[in-house]
Amino acid sequence: MDVNVVIIEDNPHYRHGLETLLQNSPGFCLSKSFGSAVAALDELARLDRVGIMPDWQIALVDIELPQMNGVTATRHLKKALPNLTVVMLTVFEEPATILEAIVAGADGYLLKKTTAPEMLSQLRSISEGGSPLTPDIARTVLSLLRDNTPKGIAGKFFKSSPTKLDLTGREHEVLQCLVKGLSYKQVAAKLDISIHTVRTHIRGIYSKLQVHSEAEAVARAIRENIV
């Protein structure tokens, strides 16, 4: 079954390139393409009024959008469609914005210079439960999350640690796999369990870490040396 992708990008040339890539790549379907977050949210509101649930599975969202930026748009998109996977697109690696996007609910973060084959590879990975972060961005995020000073950038966005995590042994193993960047399918294979069981453990991890996305769970695990 094809993965339905929506694009929210104000640069017409880059947006057209993404549209062409998705329209000509087996396994993907371009659901919608918008030049602004406002237009995308207006479409969601229109569909809601007539009782239609959009088929959007992955949203590629530019971080620098007119009227409403990508971080704010992510909050609205996640509220309207909790199961939507949001991948931020940006030209530059801005550490504070990366963390802000993760806390807003972004599931991944890719640089616009990512090649077409790598873009498709990342999209396939997240369709299987992965959380895409380019190597350069991953290093930036990990560096920030290891800064435990009260005034550090990470401290600005994350709440204090839960008083008691109580992760089970299996939940700890699953979390370790997520930190290594494994997809749900890869976690299931490595631990010899079903993907359904992986998802069950991840729900438990989210609850105990007080997070709402895989990216935020990984960020918290690294920052607080949980794994």
Same domain, 51 and 81: yes
CATH of the domain at 169: 1.10.10.10
Place of tokens 């993965």: 3
Tell me: the pLDDT tens digits for 71-109? Answer: 999 999 998 998 899 999 988 767 677 777 877 888 888
Q: Give the chain's radius of gyration (CA, Å).
A: 17
Residue 56 covered by a domain: yes
Same domain, 113 and 163: no
Same domain, 175 and 81: no
Same domain, 138 and 160: no
Tell me: the pLDDT tens digits for 137-182? Answer: 666 666 666 554 444 555 555 554 544 468 999 999 999 888 877 8
Domain boundary among 78, 109, 143: 143
Confidence class of residue 124 from pLDDT cuts 50, 70 and 90?
confident
Same domain, 33 and 12: yes
Residue 148 covered by a domain: no
Q: What's the confidence (pLDDT) of residue 106?
A: 85
Residue 18 covered by a domain: yes
Same domain, 103 and 70: yes
Same domain, 32 and 136: yes
117 or 181, higher pLDDT: 117
54 or 161, higher pLDDT: 54
